Amino acid sequence: MKPNYSVALVVLAATLTAHGQKIQVPASWDKLAAKAQEVANVTLDKSMLGLAAKFMKDDNDQDSVEINRLLEKLNGIYVRHIEFKNPGEFTEAEVEPVRAQLQGPEWSQIVNVSDKNSKEKVVIYVRTVNGKSAGMVILAEEPTELTFVHLDGSIDLHDIDALSGNFGIPKDVHAPKANSEKPNPTGEKR
């Protein structure tokens, strides 16, 4: 009997999907990085996050406590940030493969802002599995910057809210408090 590799592949894919989804950044980004002025690559899987959390505990301040709480929920952090000297170094074609991976039923755009004058575009995607948040992706295109941030894990805007005021995270952007009377200030802009 011939082994059915396609079934095995589907099972493997389903298993991988169940345990988190890594968004593949296209190889063309490596070529972009080669001509960039500044590049930031962050690849932290669960074990590395655990290690980072262990060393953050040593810092023993409020920020570290909040970050640790956030890290406990994450399975991975993946960042690609490319900064160019001149505008127009990348095209939409370079971003499209990333966007295409965020089109599945689990992904939804919660923020999509695009400014034609300044040529800036920021899209925030949230992944939801069985009604629970399972990740967040920020994809930002600016004339001289291209940024992809993937926070893989059961993180939502409330968690980011807890870090507000630090790391450039705005204070009042995100999730409405559970008993808040005010409407969500972010809204959805599509």
Partner 1 sequence: MDPFEEQMKKALRRELPRAGFAARVRRRIAVQEERPRRAVWPWFPALRWVLPILVCLVIVVTLWYRQGKVERARGEAAKQQVYVALRLAGAKMQLAQSKVRQF
Count of other CB atoms within 10 angstroms of residue 37 = 12
- Asked if 82 interacts with partner 1 (CB under 8 A), we say no
**Cα–Cα distance between 134 and 18 in angstroms, integer?**
10
Of 39, 79, 129, 175, which one interacts with partner 1 (CB under 8 A)? Answer: 79
Of 33, 67, 95, 98, which one interacts with partner 1 (CB under 8 A)? Answer: 67
Of 32, 33, 98, 111, which one interacts with partner 1 (CB under 8 A)? Answer: 111
Provide the sign of the torsion angle of the four alpha carbons 43, 48, 50, 54, taken in this order.
negative
Of 168, 179, 181, 182, which one interacts with partner 1 (CB under 8 A)? Answer: 168
Select the span of 3-11, 24-32, 100-108, 119-127 touching partner 1 (CB under 8 A). 119-127
Of 5, 93, 116, 167, which one interacts with partner 1 (CB under 8 A)? Answer: 167
**Cα–Cα distance between 174 and 162 in angstroms, integer?**
10
Sheet with strand 132-142: strands edge to edge: 38-45, 74-83, 145-153, 132-142, 120-129, 107-115
**Cα–Cα distance between 125 and 99 in angstroms, integer?**
10
Binding footprint of partner 1 on the chain (CB under 8 A): 40, 42, 44, 48-49, 51-52, 54-56, 67, 71, 77, 79, 81, 111, 113-115, 120, 122, 124, 138, 140, 142, 147, 149, 151, 160, 163, 166-170, 173-174, 186-187, 189
